[in-house]
Every structure is written in structure tokens, then in C-alpha cells.
Amino acid sequence: MSTAHYDVHGTIAVIRLDNPPVNGLGLALRQGIVNGIRQAEADTAIKAVVLIGSDRAFSGGADISEFGSSKATAEPNLLTVVNYVESSRKPVIAAISGACMGGGLELALGCHYRIAKPDCPARSQTRPVAGRRWHTAFAAPDRRRARREHDRLRQRGSCQAVQGQPAV
């Protein structure tokens, strides 16, 4: 059964995503994330929350086994989870060590901070902005600010793709 495991390490709450093989964001996992953040917010000793997946995947997005069922859209849906993470009173950090795609990337972008292992495949998911390739998922403090900045630069005509250039 897919779930989120909640552990405390000192003043840090760790919510480990556990829905093999790619940590699809099924209903039980979405509920576990929200419940874990609620639990961390209720504990005055907790200073920050870390969301972590497996070595293989932070999250591959939607749980395809739930497609076509009421679980796919049941609350909390992905938007509700991301909004809950974004509005958390305590900083939420996405610790990314594997694939981070689709809804999993949205979840990571909803976190206040993102960190990734140097060999993480998600580090290659870049977005051209202002003549540079940003690692948006890791550089932007929040996804809305990154999107606003991207839209502002695009309107000015400053947003161009850089082909073959490594990200800085």
C-alpha cells in the first residue's frame, strides 16, 4: 500500500514517500503528505519538514493505477497538496535523488526549497530564461515567482533558449 512515512530526527520532520516503483501520487500518498505536514505544524519542536522519495524517484507524478477512478480526483488532489505545502508555516524542503516528473515536479516546486544529489536525473530538467538555462526546480524559491519572472522576461522579449550550453 502506498503511504507517506513520518519520522522525526531532532528538530526535522521527514516525510518519506513510499509508493513503488516511482512514488506515484495516489490518494493514500497525498493524504499522507498533508497529514505529515499537519503533524509537523502541530509539533512546536519541529523547525522544518523534508519530503524525500527513493533513490529511484522523488515522484514520477500521478499514480496511473488510479486513472479513471474516483481516487484520482478525490481530496486532497494534487493542487490541494501543493497549496498546503506552499502555505506551510514551517519550511518544506524537497530532497530529490531520482526522477522528478509531472505532478512530482509540481510538488517539488511547491516546496520552499529543493536540494538534489549531484547525479540526480531531475537536475537536467531546465527551462530557458533570460538567455540562460535555469534549473527552475532548484533555483527558484517558489514556483509562482519563477513563473512570474519567466512571463515578465518573455513579454520583454528577453527569454531565449540557449542550445548546447550547460546550466549555471
C-alpha separations of 125 from 42, 43, 115, 142, 150 in Å: 35, 35, 14, 16, 15
- pLDDT of the chain, 168 residues: tens digit per residue: 558 999 999 999 999 999 989 999 999 999 999 999 999 999 999 999 999 998 888 998 889 899 899 998 899 999 999 999 999 999 999 999 888 888 999 999 999 999 887 776 655 444 444 444 444 444 444 556 556 655 665 565 544 443 343 433
The model carries a pTM of 0.73
CA dist., res. 58 & res. 148, Å (int): 25
Type of residue found at 41: E
Contacts of 29 (CB under 8 A, 6+ apart): 2, 3, 4, 17, 18, 19, 23, 63
